Amino acid sequence: MVVPSPTSMIRTKKTKAVGIPTIDLSMERSELSELVVKACEEYGFFKVVNHGIPKEVISRLENEGTEFFSKNSTEKLQAGTSTPFGYGCKNIGPNGDKGDLEYLLLHTNPNSISERSKTIAKDHPIKFSCIVTDYIEAVKELACEILELAAEGLWVPDKSSLSKVIKDVHSDSVLRINHYPPVKKLSKDNLDPSKFQNNNNTIGFGEHSDPQILTILRSNNVGGLQISTQHGLWIPVHPDPNEFYVMVGDSLQVLTNGRFVSVRHRVLTNTTKPRMSMMYFAAPPLNWWISPLSKMVTAHNPSLYKPFTWAQYKQAAYALRLGDSRLDQFKLQ
Ligand code: GA4
């Protein structure tokens, strides 16, 4: 059963209750796979509980994030700029997108992590790289489990068809830690009213969908994330530091021939408390072709997308603005 959590229940104008699905991974497998498919079709977004990831794996990475972001900006900039990996502040991507946040962007390749650790955590690089690696291993396993459940629920003959894409040693997956310092309501330093949404909050990270296959997100206890329904209604996501949220990315939308939807989401800043979130973006190797699984294509349901490699899709994503609908260029009809 998809259980809408009471805290995430909101009502639309027509007073229809909208709830973000919560999926309990300790449930029976056949039931679980149906729930995963339903949530990916309806929202492209759900919460997982009983995920089995030890609390310490999460808290150690959170502590490293807190320690890093509390440094002064000269020290943080020594981590290297975020083009493409390192520390970034306010700038998102190469085309002028801005947000009220700072972040660390890391490639999940072990060599890349150990190199970056030397500049991010100069006084304890080995400890930092072990903490990051443990977290990545844990969330990658969770992502694979969800992709296997999805494949089962879609009756794809090889249940590893989706998970093997991200398990490959050359996977181009990325880890991101975002830190959103609180932004006060209009003050003399913050005089631009156009920056504010809902009267109170500035945009921490603008509306977009993730280009990858699946995103596994965890945040501290501070809210701000909102997801858009397929009808364009924004739903606030209740923060839950002990659980994970799962997002369908554009590539999984293509692999399922549009049956799953990549979720558009954004983050608004808090006026008093800092938000910290960590996202694992599960991606294929650069040279992998992405096209609908054969099970998802029939005479009545022809392929909706031209095949493309992950490198081609990334290139398209980086050539556009954050909020652009980049899948449009690859649509067949
Ligand atoms: C969105 C998902 C990930 O955070 C990210 C982002 C990337 C970046 O911040 O460099 C992008 C954005 C994300 C999509 C479009 C392009 C690329 C910024 C941007 C304007 C790391 C990713 O892979 O795509």
ipTM confidence score: 0.99
> Could you tell me if residue 6 is inside a domain?
no
Residue recorded with tokens 């530091």: 241
> Could you tell me if residue 191 is inside a domain?
no
pLDDT at residue 187 in the model: 61
**Residues near 215 by beta carbon (within 8 Å), at least 6 away in sequence:** 246, 247, 249, 279, 280, 281, 282
Shortest CA distance to 214 belongs to which of 266, 267, 264, 262?
A: 262
Which amino acid residue places its CA nearest to atom 16 of ligand 1? 318
pLDDT at residue 186 in the model: 61
Q: Determine the distance separating the centroid of ligand 1 and the alpha carbon of 96, expressed in angstroms.
A: 12
- pTM of the predicted model, to two decimals? 0.93
pLDDT at residue 15 in the model: 38
pLDDT at residue 6 in the model: 44
> Could you tell me if residue 319 is inside a domain?
yes
pLDDT at residue 184 in the model: 82
Q: What is the CATH number of the domain that holds 53?
A: 2.60.120.330
Which amino acids bring their CB within 6 angstroms of ligand 1?
92-93, 95, 97, 105, 174, 176, 208, 210-211, 281, 317-318, 322
pLDDT at residue 94 in the model: 94
CA of 176, closest atom in ligand 1: 4
- Cα separation, 29 vs 139, in Å, equals 19
The Cβ-side half-sphere exposure at 177, using a 13 Å CA radius, reads 23
* Total tally of structural domains belonging to the chain: 1
Q: Write out the residue range of the structural domain in which residue 307 sits.
A: 22-184+198-328
Question: Which stretches of the chain score pLDDT less than 70?
Answer: 1-18, 82, 185-200, 333
Indicate which residue of 116, 218, 266, 275 is catalytic: 275
Q: 308 is written with which tokens? A: 């493309």
- Is 176 tagged catalytic? no
> Could you tell me if residue 128 is inside a domain?
yes
> Could you tell me if residue 109 is inside a domain?
yes
Amino acid symbol at 151:
A
pLDDT at residue 16 in the model: 45
pLDDT at residue 80 in the model: 83
- Cα separation, 269 vs 261, in Å, equals 26
Q: Determine the distance separating the centroid of ligand 1 and the alpha carbon of 259, expressed in angstroms.
A: 23
Which amino acid residue places its CA nearest to atom 23 of ligand 1? 211
> Could you tell me if residue 127 is inside a domain?
yes
Candidate from 208, 212, 278 with most ligand 1 atoms within 8 A of CB, to mutate? 208
> Could you tell me if residue 63 is inside a domain?
yes
